[in-house]
Amino acid sequence: MSESRARRRAVGLAAVSVLAAAVLTGGPAHAAAGQTALAADTVRVNEVVTTGDVNDSIELYNTGAAAVDISGWILKDDQDSSEYQIAAGTTLAAGGFHAFDVHNAFGLGSADEARLYHGGTLVDSFSWTKHSDPSWSRCPDGTGAFGQAAVVTLGGPNSCAGAGGTSVAWPGSGTVTTADGSNVFGEDLSGLYQEGSVLWAAQNSGKLWRLVRNGTGWKPDASAGWTSGKTLRYPNGSGTPDDEGVTLTGAGSAGGVYVSTERNGDASGTSRTSVLRYDVSGTSTTLTATREWNLTADLPPVGSNLGFEGITWIPDSSLTGLVDSSTGAAYDPSRYGSHTGGVFFIGVEGTGMIYGYVLQDSGAFTRIASVSSGMQGVMELQWEPQASRLWVVCDDTCDGQHRTMKINAAGAFAVVAVYNRPSGMANYNNEGFSVAGADECSGGAKPVYWSDDSNDSGHALRRGAITC
């Protein structure tokens, strides 16, 4: 968005205060100081938030190997008269997280307690003497003591100290140059994806661009109706998708271009976190989606302008070590029938979470991974096959920080490096990032590109480099 990050978050406050549940991945349990627990139970209080956008929230975590029906269980603060009853039909998956917004039942103060009861018996509790600022998180999840974490991760793994390490210098040249003409795109240019000699760009005013090389930069393709970008519509031909990210599958653009969207611009106050697929083979200046996977109901709610941002596709062959959070076993693509031959990973601006989805050709979908980026927001995701790593990018809110993640021995994506932005690039509102392929390596380096949502100094595209 061209709006400032602070403005975007302010607009979303009312929506994110109503927090729904999310089922993700986890590990074993331990009772630490300030808590009590019953050894026979596997459900633990794992995160508490008392301030900020999602205040008065308590997250539970199932450390066991089997799902637990927590229907009718009771959450309390330090007053016995305060009760939040968990709704009937609520199940906490094996190794799963479930966050509850309790503000309609009671508030969580600066000196308070979160208690969990089952059948009148205290299962687990945590007490504190100052506000969360922003999160009281158990580290590691389910096994460690509570501490004040720097990031709220309700519905996902906690952002534990040392998870991302200390940030280091950009892994390449500090030099950054403009990569577009003056005022070609204006504001709102967002996600990027390079396909050889073509750079795809999503503009969140409901437009998709096909860019071709212009020296060391890019310009709009002047053929097949792409001169001014193409207008995007939902599958019924209506609406203005607020498209933020763009990616391709192993089939390339011939197999369709996929964009991540956070809302319909014609109903901008309502969240609509979707992935849309477009056939880009024709000459029409308007593209109607051939499929929409609307994932809104499957995820914790966020403000309508704080939803899906970055998106990237990772082939099944690169995910053999990943644990599928929907089954608790190794990811097995054969159980999902006809799909794209990979998994779409989508970043959320408002929470900094990353979600992995198998999007089936039938329109069905399954969430198989949920990952905390450890950052305040995710604006772009890029899979780099050459290094088998996932790039996670934040904008000026995080001073242009980039993180790389790989699948660890536990079968989950984890941060392996934290990079500062290049020394030669100002703290722009970058919402897009693209990495060139191995074929462009020269002298041990290859190009990368950023899109600046704010069109600073009349330019929306910039070029840098990373080591190969």
pLDDT band, very low/low/confident/very high, at 36 (cuts 50, 70, 90): very low
Least confident of 8-17, 64-73, 204-213: 8-17
Copy the structure tokens of residue 166: 């200390």
For residues 25 and 328, give the distance between their C-alpha atoms in angstroms, rounded to a whole number: 8
> Going by C-beta distance under 8 Å and a sequence separation of 6 or more, which residues neighbour residue 442?
none
Residue 27 scores a pLDDT above 90: no
Tell me what percent of the residues of the chain surpass a pLDDT of 70.
89
If one counts every other C-beta atom within 10 angstroms of the C-beta of residue 224, the result is 14
pLDDT mean over 17-26: 33
Per-residue pLDDT of 51-94, as tens digits, reads: 877 789 999 988 877 888 999 999 999 999 999 999 999 988 87
Per-residue pLDDT of 117-154, as tens digits, reads: 998 999 999 999 999 888 898 877 776 788 877 778 88
3-state helix/strand/coil string of 421-466: CCCCCCCCCEEEEEECCHHHCECCEEEEEEEECCCHHHCCEEEEEE
CB-based contact 103:141 (threshold 8 Å): no
Q: Return the pLDDT at 16.
A: 35
pLDDT band, very low/low/confident/very high, at 8 (cuts 50, 70, 90): very low
DSSP secondary structure letters along 308-326: EEEEEEEEGGG-TT-EETT
Copy the structure tokens of residue 225: 């109706």
Q: Please, which residues bridge with residue 176 across strands?
A: none
β-strands 286-288, 230-233: how paired?
A: parallel
> Going by C-beta distance under 8 Å and a sequence separation of 6 or more, which residues neighbour residue 222?
none
Tell me the C-alpha to C-alpha distance, in Å, between residue 226 and each of 88, 163, 204, 265, 418.
52, 43, 16, 22, 37
For residues 216 and 236, give the distance between their C-alpha atoms in angstroms, rounded to a whole number: 39
Highest mean pLDDT among 86-90, 227-231, 416-420: 227-231
Per-residue pLDDT of 256-310, as tens digits, reads: 999 999 999 999 999 999 999 999 999 999 999 999 999 999 998 889 999 999 9
Q: Return the pLDDT at 20.
A: 33
Per-residue pLDDT of 146-185, as tens digits, reads: 887 777 888 877 776 444 456 889 999 999 999 999 999 9
pLDDT mean over 394-400: 93
Q: Please, which residues bridge with residue 98 across strands?
A: 60
Per-residue pLDDT of 327-344, as tens digits, reads: 999 999 999 999 999 999
Residues in the chain: 468
**H helices of 269-401, where?**
none
Copy the structure tokens of residue 29: 């349990």
More confident residue, 446 or 5: 446
pTM beyond 0.95, yes or no: no
- Helix H or strand E segment including 13: helix 13-16
CA angle 9, 13, 19 (to 5 degrees): 120
For residues 112 and 101, give the distance between their C-alpha atoms in angstroms, rounded to a whole number: 16
For residues 8 and 343, give the distance between their C-alpha atoms in angstroms, rounded to a whole number: 29
Peptide bond before 134: cis, by omega within 30 degrees of 0?
yes
pLDDT mean over 7-33: 35
